[in-house]
Amino acid sequence: MEKIESFKVDHTKLDPGMYISRIDGDITTYDMRVKKPNTVPLLTNREMHSFEHMFATMIRNSGISENVIYFGPMGCQTGFYLLVRNAVHEKVIDETKKSLNAILDYEGEIFGKSRIECGNYISLDLESAKRVALEYKAILVEIGEYSAAYRTV
């Protein structure tokens, strides 16, 4: 069996940040790494699920909405994948930052928090989403304005 590309990455060398993990034609996959792999604490299911609902809604209503293919959590509980068609890296980072700020400013019911809209709506919590947004925003500030998009795994 051939090893898939993500298993070829040395996770001991990854730090929190925003990485281009692969480019397939016109689709760029960004790793939005919130936690250092194989360390604790990892993201909880509530944090991942809540942030996913909020960020997916914000980024799909952003200036790059027509190019967002997918946003979702990493099974290893360290971050998220963002797939964007025809990515302009500076624009992706700008819209990511705007989406994080929108989550931090948001007051109200978490998006999709109902039995009809979600398969586990009781695990959604706005404060959990805000904690992840605040942590990730600090990571992006720390690594620099645009340098994140040019780091590759």
Q: pLDDT tens digits, residue range 102-134?
A: 999 999 999 999 999 999 999 999 999 999 999
> Across residues 143-148, what is the average pLDDT?
58
Structure tokens at 146: 């645009």
Residues 78 and 42 sit within 8 Å (Cβ to Cβ): yes
Q: Which pLDDT does position 151 carry in this prediction?
A: 53
Q: Name the superfamily (CATH) of residues 5-143.
A: S-ribosylhomocysteinase (LuxS) (3.30.1360.80)
Least Cα distance to 106 among 132, 80, 84 occurs for 132
Quote the pTM value.
0.92
| Angle at the Cα of 95 from the Cα atoms of 89 and 90, rounded to 5 degrees | 20
CB atoms within 10 A of CB 123: 16
User: Does position 146 have pLDDT exceeding 70, yes or no?
Assistant: no
| Mean predicted confidence (pLDDT) in 69-81 | 97
Name the token pair of 85: 């068609």
Q: With contact defined as beta carbons under 8 Å apart, do 69 and 25 qualify? A: no
Higher pLDDT residue, 151 or 142? 142
